[in-house]
Structure 1
Amino acid sequence: MTLILGISAFYHDSAVAILRDGEIVAAASEERFTRKKHDASFPQNALRECLRMADADVGDLDYVGFYEKPFLKFDRLLETYLAYAPAGYGSFFRAMPSWLKTKLHLPREIRKHLGTQYKRRIVFCEHHESHASSAFFPSPFDEAAILTVDGVGEWATTTWGVGRGNRISLKSEIRFPHSLGLLYSAFTYFCGFRVNSGEYKLMGLAPYGEPKFVELILKHLIKVHDDGSYQLNMDYFSYGHSLQMTDRKMERLLGVKRRKPNDPIRNVDRDLAASIQRVTEDVVLRMANHVFDQTKLDSLCMAGGVALNCVANGRLLREGPFKRIWVQPAAGDAGGALGVAWLIWNQLLGKPRVAHAISAQPTSMLGPPADHASDLQTLRDNGAVMRHVPQDDELDAAVAKLLADGKVVGWVQGKMEFGPRALGGRSILGDPRNPEMQSLMNAKIKRRESFRPFAPSILEEHSHEYFKMPDGDSSPYMIFTFDVQETRRRPIDVLISSGGEQRTQPRSELPAVTHLDYSARVQTVSQNRYPRFYQLLRTFYQQTGCPALVNTSFNVRGEPIVATAADAYRCFMTTQMDALVIGNELLLKTEQPESACQSSQQDLCEWEPG
């Protein structure tokens, strides 16, 4: 038996993944346990929980891999600072302490955190190698083209290559500072959202605007070649020498000042979002066409932060040359932990690989469960009132009725998802037929901007009745958008309130999950991938005739998705959620005492998972 630990840490979204003889045993992000969004510290808590799931300790590990090469990254930082000197001195001065103290000594730091039990090898691979590995090795393809696109790793920002059998080979790359991911992040910053977390907001805002700035962007900011390669005009970007993405020169070009984070969203912000979204889609599509021309392969695997742009993915699936596309559900940096572990197993150790029909990562339920008896007893001891419903079908019937009655339900079942999507393990659910559900969940549950869209989870066998999906296609990871079938649509009128927020009439039979452009970010739910969630959806369908639910991640704005029963209960009690289900325990808000709400914000904050 060979046990491999993959680590991504110290830069962004720290995580660990464990493989046993090439099979995923566990994977989790550190932020879920520390409750610090995008926590970049060493993933000590995630490591502890994943080792527990593997029934192993550090001394049982045969290999440890790290998802980047720190010296190569440091080389890029030094060259960049020298190139911009003296302008980049302030940024250089702030960055150096962490590098000199920690990041230049990662072998030492990793061994320090692992303890004295681990004395074997630590493997370092390049950032985009880990992305490519995480995309191809778990995919259902014997051979495929590979495309990775993100902000930046060491030097590479975009790569393409080929995966065959148990090996990947990267053929070409685009290097920093030219980066499609950083271009998108620059507009995220300009429109007043936080870089590295607000890109979802920009994508959600895009359908509300018009792509009026596309020509200006293509003329002044990015030069795109026929093969999809590109160059940014760095005169308009300041991320190379400062902590800001853009400066006054970008404001002069666009003819508008950057929106401050707490200011109201303007019409121009909507148009900028629509424009950079269109440019991003066009560049991704052009790159994919070039990769297809070079490889002549029918299948494509993708990873990197830009691969989480589900709108671009949907367009690539509809208009692109590839018959089949598989995107790593944890496509961002956290997924690099999986990538380096698979790279060690397949490429370093030369182990044979057999492509699984539905992938070697059939679900993303890879983290620890939250319904341990001791965890639930801790909640009771702190005042939580629970109804134990031992039969799943009885519980599902009660939850389906709550949802049909317009209630919002927190749903915590089994293992935690790995990656940014809630797929039925740590979800907040609602009735997609309710035209008020989107605004209700945004304002009273998620505490976020009213324009933010929600996604449908739908029984796979009914998905083609509601959405235009290629024959035989499924979308189990909620990573593509699909258009709503014309027969399910309704005409719309767009209204703009005095506050600048846009409201619309219902756009389809499922208004809570249909975007302004009649698309939706779909999760198809099959019995073999998601048996427990499938059962609930099936019951809701039997009660209502609707095979779908609103499914959004179980968290509020600015917080990671909940990991433990205590996290879920605290979120439940401090929002206007109506009910919470943890395993076979049903909790109704009306039955919870005030003392439980107080302890959810105090005592339970300190509680460790059992």
Structure 2
Amino acid sequence: MNLLAIHDGHTATACFMRNGAVMALVSEERFTNVKNQSGFPHQALEWIVSEFCIGLDEMDAIIIPHLVQPIDFAKTFSSHYSYRHLALHVLSHAVPRRVLGAAKLVEPYVSLFRGYRNGVVRGYCATHGIEPARLHRQEHHAAHRYAALYGAGYPQRGEAALVFTLDGSGDGLSGTVARWDPDQGHELLSKRSSYHSLGDLYSQITQLLGLRPGEHEYKVMGMAPYVRPEHSAPAYAVLCSYMRLNSRGEVVNDAAFGKAMLARLRRDLRDERFDNIAAATQRHFEDIVIAWIKHWLTKTGLNRAAFGGGCFMNARANMLIAELPELSEAFFLPSCGDESTALGGAYYLAETLGEAVPAPLADLYLGPAHGEDEVVRALEAADSQITTRRIDDIEAAVAKLLAEGMIVGRFSGRSEWGARALGQRSILCRADSAANVSKLNKAIKMRDFWMPFAASLLEENAEQYLYPIAGVTGSYMTMTYKTTPLAQNHLIAGLHPFDHTCRAQVVSQETSPSFHRLLTEFKRLTGIGGLLNTSFNLHGAPIVGAPATALDTLLNSDMDCLALGNYLVTKRKVKK
């Protein structure tokens, strides 16, 4: 069967599945060069139709997740509130918290706002010629659950597991716990309304600190390790009075909602330092999430779990989860924000329509590749500003430049899906000198001074650098690892500057053969089995999606060179 799933909210994404295999998974931002582009993914869909020579009328089924309109952070950034948040904010002054946060109110909430959403979807159908009879719908957290469960491969192996979803809000919910086993299928064990959203509290604090909610939560996470627990203790005590976990394994909001929550945070934390608030926020988040997961593992007796929803982009918390002795196996869905609901929608269609058990995620190289003709056209358009050289063994050439200390952009093969650069659209440099952090920031990235970079490591050398955690794999940069003394020598620029943890990509020859070969050649030259890897983009832009954008990034930065397909590109020196 040919199945299509479309996510039209924050970081709009399209997913195409054929005969149970994910053939394409790509976000609209890679075509528009607008970070977190929302709305209907027109260009992503056009690429799928063209690349796979299939029309929308040939799709056996199409699904659009979300029963109510998903939040667009770009439109609500100034206040972080949609009209639905404002409605709940008003109600919060008149309705007791225990009533407003009750799970029984979720269904009326969805019914109230579903009509507008249905009109939007009907508009998509009319514009794109989608037959309503072939259109399916799916609840937001169910999409997160299907993406994590099937992405992990538990149904494919017939293994019972728990699935946790956690985010800011989606279709009136902020979190769910479900069980899957081969005999009973799906069983929803717990759901929590958006009023009790731990993710929304994290985003509110992100806004309190002058950062962009829905995008910059990772900066709060990155600051946290610098602060001693005793310094963040007063702010932590405040947050503990806001939200807690009850004896039934449910997150409880004892504070406020909407603008009232933000106002209360400003009042209660007005005398606290930025870094102390960040550390308290991360600690409070970790404590509640860990207790929540342990509660349900103990209650069900299961020791295998998958995790989806934007809160599990928190790589530091994921490390603590993976280390739990109650877990024998953990899978954190890569790029598990709302963009992953497209993947969940495709898996849902496959299960519902009786498709052969769909394949789990393997690699994430599911976006466009750009052929030689397109690369040459882009090079010719920039000819007056660049010098180029075609090289047959481009991986060996790049490895040599990296060994010599250069910063190299790599644009090769199919693009990776999601928020993490996994070698195909990456900026690479040596990681054995901390000075490279400053060099890279000044040349290209302009990152906040406290933020760490990541590292890509050869699978064969991973245990020399990372203390392994049983039951997890590190292919997608979804969690941090504690590192060995050798890593703190060989990879220091790719580690967190304070605690030396590493958000690592473990690169195998099977899933990423060309990148693995580059790393292997670099190791032959230097004795080091890894590189600093950061996303190929200018500050504030998405990961580059086309050869012309890659060239523009080279020309507007101090990157040393660009490997564009089999071409090595440098800027022409300006004559003085």
State the TM-score, normalizing by the size of structure 2: 0.88
Partner of 2:562: 580
Which of 247, 262, 265 is 1:250 aligned to? 265
Q: Which residue of 2 aligns with 1:350?
A: 354
Distance 2:220 2:293 in 1: 23
SS at match of 2:428: strand
Alignment counterpart, residue 154 of structure 1, candidates 171, 176, 179: 171
Q: Does 1:569 align with 2:546?
A: no
CA distance in 2, matches of 1:457, 1:381: 33
Q: In structure 2, what is the equivalent of residue 502 of structure 1?
A: none
**Structure 1 SS opposite 2:195:** coil
Distance in 1, matches of 2:455 and 2:409, equals: 15
Partner of 1:37: 35
Counterpart residue type for residue 266 of structure 2: E
- Deviation digits for residues 467-519 of structure 1 (CA, Å, limit 9, x no counterpart): 1013575300011110011x337xxxxxxxxxxxxxxxxx5442201211121
User: What is the aligned partner in structure 2 of residue 107 from structure 1?
Assistant: 121
Distance in 1 (alpha carbons) for counterparts of 2:489 and 2:249: 36
One-letter amino acid matched to 1:364 = L
Kindly provide the amino acid, as one letter, of the partner of residue 563 in structure 1: G
Aligned with 1:238 (options 258, 262, 267)? 258
Indicate if the aligned counterparts of 2:239 and 2:281 stay in contact, CA closer than 8 A: no
Q: 1:131, 1:331 within 8 Å by CA — same for their partners in 2?
A: yes
8 Å contact from structure 2 (residues 350, 357) kept in 1: no
Name the SS for the 1:367 alignment partner: coil
Aligned match of 2:411: 412
Deviation at 1:118, TM superposition (A): 4.5
- Contact 2:3–2:60 (CA under 8 A) maintained in structure 1: yes
| Aligned mates of 1:441, 1:227 — CA distance in 2 | 48
Code of the residue aligned with 2:198 in structure 1: it is L
Output the CA distance in 2 between the equivalents of 1:443 and 1:390.
Answer: 29
- The separation in 1 between residues aligned to 2:120 and 2:337, in whole angstroms, is 21
Looking at structure 1, the residues matched to 321 and 145 of structure 2 have their Cα atoms a distance apart, in angstroms, of: 18
Give the Å deviation of 1:206: 1.3
**For residues 168 and 533 of structure 1, do their structure 2 counterparts lie closer, same or farther at Cα, with a shift above 3 Å needed?**
farther
1:87-124 superposed Cα distances (whole Å, 9 cap, x missing partner): 9xxxxxxxxxxx8996451231221342x364642111
In structure 1, how many angstroms separate the alpha carbons of the residues matched to 2:70 and 2:372? 43
State how far apart, in whole Å, the 2-side matches of 1:592 and 1:67 are: 50
Deviation at 1:171, TM superposition (A): 1.8
CA deviations 1:314-347 (Å, max 9, x no partner) are 111113521111111120101101101110111x
Given candidates 476, 486, 489, the residue that maps to 1:488 is 486
Q: How does 1:421-460 map to 2 (within 5 A)?
A: 421-460=420-459
Matching of residues 236-315 of structure 1 within 5 Å? 237-239=257-259, 246-247=262-263, 249-256=264-271, 268-315=273-320
Deviation at 1:170, TM superposition (A): 2.3
User: Quick one: distance in 2 between partners of 1:280 and 1:585?
Assistant: 46
Amino acid at match of 1:132: R
Residue matched to 2:335: 330
CA contact (8 A) 2:409 2:427 kept: yes
Q: Distance in 1 between matches of 2:296 and 2:376?
A: 51
Q: Would the alpha carbon gap of residues 191 and 71 (structure 1) be closer, same or farther in structure 2, given more than 3 Å must change?
A: closer
What is the correspondence of 1:17-416 to structure 2 with a 5 Å cutoff?
17-70=15-68, 80=88, 83-84=91-92, 103-114=117-128, 116=129, 118=131, 120-141=133-154, 142=158, 143-165=160-182, 167-211=185-229, 212-213=232-233, 215-235=236-256, 237-239=257-259, 246-247=262-263, 249-256=264-271, 268-346=273-351, 348-353=352-357, 360-383=360-383, 385=386, 387-392=388-393, 395-416=394-415
> How far off its partner does 1:441 sit?
1.5
The runs of 5 or more residues in structure 2 that have no matched partner are 72-81, 96-112
For 1:83 and 1:106, locate their aligned partners in 2 and report how far apart those are by CA, in whole Å. 26
TM-score w.r.t. length of structure 1: 0.83
Aligned partners of 1:475 and 1:71: how far apart in 2?
34
| Distance (whole Å) between structure 2 residues aligned to residue 20 and residue 471 of structure 1 | 33
Contact 2:236–2:281 (Cα < 8 Å) also in 1:
no
Question: CA offset at residue 228 of structure 1?
Answer: 3.9
Task: Quote how far apart the aligned CAs of 1:229 are.
Answer: 1.8
- The change in CA–CA distance for 1:448 and 1:22 in structure 2 (over 3 A counts) is same
Deviations 1:238-289 (A, max 9, x none): 34x7xxx612x323312338xxxxxxxxxx2112111111111111111111
Change in CA separation of 1:72 and 1:468 when aligned onto 2, cut-off 3 Å: closer
Deviates more, 1:210-219 or 1:535-544: 210-219
Structure 1 position 58, deviation (Å): 1.5
Q: Deviation at 1:522? A: 0.8
Q: Which amino acid aligns with 1:221?
A: Y
Answer whether contact 1:165 1:353 (CA < 8 A) is retained. no
Which secondary structure does the structure 2 equivalent of 1:463 belong to? helix
Task: Give 1:598's aligned residue.
Answer: none
Question: Of the candidates 521, 534, 538, which is equivalent to residue 503 of structure 2?
Answer: 521
Deviation at 1:309? 0.5
Q: How many Å separate the matches in 1 of 2:566 and 2:549?
A: 17
User: What is the distance in 2 between the residues matched to 1:77 and 1:428?
Assistant: 39
Aligned partners of 2:303, 2:573: CA distance in 1, in Å? 55
CA deviations on 1:511-555 (whole Å, 9 max, x unpaired) are: 201211121101100000111110100010000000000011111
**CA distance 1:585–1:517, shift in 2 (3 Å):** same
**Shift in Å, 1:291:** 2.0
Give 3-state SS (helix, strand or coil) of 2:499's partner. coil
SS in 2 for 1:538: helix
**Comparing 11-20 with 454-463, which one deviates more in the overlay?**
11-20
CA separation of 1:177 and 1:454: change in aligned 2, threshold 3 A: same
CA contact (8 A) 1:8 1:67 kept: yes
The AA in structure 1 aligned to 2:353 is L
Gaps of 5+ in 1: 88-98, 258-267, 490-506, 595-610
Q: Confirm or deny: 8 A CA contact 1:370 1:563 kept in the other structure.
A: no
1:492 — aligned with what?
A: none
For the structure 1 residues 314 and 152, does the alpha-carbon distance in structure 2 shift closer, same or farther, using more than 3 Å as the test?
same
Match of residue 535 from structure 1? 517
1:28-84 Cα shifts (integer Å, max 9, x gaps): 111121122221121001111122232212221111101111289999668625514
> Following the alignment from structure 1 to structure 2, what is the Cα–Cα distance between the partners of residues 36 and 180?
28
Moved more, 308-317 or 463-472: 463-472
Q: 2 CA distance for matches of 1:59 and 1:44?
A: 16
The one-letter code sitting in structure 1 at the alignment partner of 2:355 is K
- Decide which moves more: 316-325 or 560-569: 316-325
Distance 1:280 1:71, change over 3 A: closer
Show the 5 A alignment for 1:491-502: none
